[in-house]
Amino acid sequence: IDEILRVNAAPGYSEHHTGCAIDIGTLECDALVEAFENTPAFTWLQEHANQHGFVLSYPRGNAAGIAYEPWHWCFKESTSRI
């Protein structure tokens, strides 16, 4: 169960249920794979997403112990510049 919960959220606990999380992909790589971190889109997100209120939910070594997901971003209004 612990290994499953490292890569899949339990029902009702996904950030997607909040309506604030999105999974981003490109035509340059398969969906929902770590290779997304090697795309220009990921580079742009790292440089600019915070300016629009988005944060990478599960970076490498995150405190929640969730598997690294470079494609998974969440809107956090408090980070947005107004």
Residue 80: pLDDT over 80: no
Percentage helix, strand, coil for the chain under 3-state DSSP, each rounded to 5 = 40, 20, 45
The DSSP call for residue 57 is: E
Tell me the pLDDT of the chain averaged across its residues.
Answer: 89
Q: Is the pLDDT of residue 4 over 90?
A: no
Tokens 């969730």 belong to 66
pLDDT digits (tens, 9 = 90+) for 38-72: 999 999 999 999 999 999 999 999 998 999 999 99
Instruction: Say yes or no to pLDDT of 20 above 90.
Output: yes
Structural domains of the chain, ranges and CATH numbers in brackets: 2-79 (3.30.1380.10)
pTM of the model: 0.82
